[in-house]
Amino acid sequence: MLESVQELDQKYHDLFYYGEWIITIFFSIEYIARIVTVKKTSKYIFSFYGIIDFLSTIPLYLSFFIVGSQTLLTIRALRLLRIFRIFKITRYVGESNKLKNALIHSRVKIFIFLFTVFIIAIISGTLMYIVEGEKSGFTNIPVSIYWSIVTLTTVGYGDIAPITALGQLIASFIMILGYGIIAVPTGIVSAEYSRSKDEKIHMNTTVCLKCHEKLHADDSNYCHHCGTILNSETKD
């Protein structure tokens, strides 16, 4: 990112260049080590994080094979693939897995919510097209739907605006509705996140005396890890 700032690149070009090589070498070592150590190499290489690892490492090496002034823009575009390294951070953040699971479990609710918002945008956009017309900038229904989406999300670019009293009344209603819409997906994911967290706490009530495994449901009679009978006295 700093390299894209022309003033900084001119002043610290060598520092950026050698620093990039050091980072790339570490990424390369990690990538090779993962390929060597994993049980199923192809499964890792073609997995999401495997592809991210590859895209994060390969751009600098490609600069050796793509030479010539006419390909400088190509090299620059390929080197921008380094931004994919930011995805690697999430692998080491435990809480990200909980958030991912909460999103997965609430995907149906979120889909229904987004579908409802899409319907509202279509209806309100069509209505604004009828009320305002081409003179106000609502030249067609897709453009009107675009305005409705921008208004519902409270972005408000201002490139299109209603001028009639009825149109402004409808726009005001859509704006107010937008504030409520923003809160809905947050509530859905938060509720699912809290529920999964409560379930984990609920499962950590029985401890195996042999292997000290804690992840058991309250009604478990045997340890799922070693098979030892669980005693009610081992309750925390």
CA gap 231, 235 in Å, rounded: 8
State residue 224's pLDDT score: 65
Question: Is the distance from CB of 55 to CB of 81 less than 8 angstroms?
Answer: yes
Higher pLDDT pick, 181 / 163: 163
Residue 220 has pLDDT above 90, yes or no: no
| pTM of full prediction above 0.85 | no
Residue 219 has pLDDT above 70, yes or no: no
State residue 193's pLDDT score: 73
Q: What count of residues does the chain have?
A: 236
Residue range 86-126, pLDDT digits in tens: 776 666 665 666 777 777 888 888 888 889 999 999 999 99
Q: Residue 235, SS3? A: strand
Other CB atoms within 10 A of residue 180 CB: 8
Angle at 149 between CA 145 and CA 153, to 5 degrees: 170
Residue range 64-85, pLDDT digits in tens: 776 654 445 455 565 666 676 6
The CA-atom distances, in angstroms, between 210 and each of 201, 214, 215, 221, 229 are 21, 11, 14, 14, 9
State residue 94's pLDDT score: 59
Residue 3 C-beta-side C-alpha neighbours within 13 Å: 13
Average pLDDT across the chain, whole number: 79
